[in-house]
Amino acid sequence: MIYQISLPLPPTLNEIINESRGGWQAAASTKKQWTNKIAGFIEECGFTLQDKVWLEFNWYLKNFGRDADNVAAAAKYIMDGIVSGKGIRNDNLTIIQSPVIHYYHRSNIDIAALSLSNCADFLLDNFIDSNQFSVPALQQLNKKTNKLLNQQI
């Protein structure tokens, strides 16, 4: 099962740092507000993944001048909200599996879109689609995949 959620972009790392300079209370308050907002949304959606989880973030951004790691830091607020809303039982590395994929898209509005699944299969489809591989490259990948599958059977 693949669950997909979209929400406004939470504060990015530079925004978190700037707010923290004014005192930890302000930053803690913002973090709590975002965690509660996302938790409420997750509870309303009513999904739960109990075991291992694979993630794919799609960041839709107005400003492509931002650093990728600055934007990806917003995942902290999202993940804590999902845990608080009981969508997943924990966001540590025993539950969250590698790879955690981040795609960045130009947009006229800042949005965070997240796909979560208890199976990693969807990651490969999206990886191939988003990277627009050539037909020969996909054929070579298909041969390698079939060889690996045949070895396991």
Predicted pLDDT at 129: 64
Task: Kindly indicate the confidence band of residue 121, based on its pLDDT and cuts at 50, 70 and 90.
Answer: confident
Residue 54 lies in a domain: yes
Number of structural domains found in the chain: 1
Please compute, for residue 25, the number of CA atoms within 13 A of its CA located in the half-sphere on the CB side: 0
Taking only the tens place, the pLDDT of each residue in 62-81 is 999 999 999 999 999 999 99
Residue 69 lies in a domain: yes
Please compute, for residue 61, the number of CA atoms within 13 A of its CA located in the half-sphere on the CB side: 20
Residue 133 lies in a domain: no
CATH number of the structural domain spanning residue 21: 3.30.1330.70
Of residues 138 and 117, which shows the higher confidence score?
117
Non-local (6+) Cβ contacts of 86 within 8 A are: 42, 43, 48
Taking only the tens place, the pLDDT of each residue in 36-67 is 999 999 999 998 998 999 999 999 999 999 99
Residue 147 lies in a domain: no
Q: Across-strand partners of 103?
A: 58
Distance between CA atoms of 9 and 121, rounded to whole angstroms? 26
Residue ranges making up the domain that contains 6: 2-119
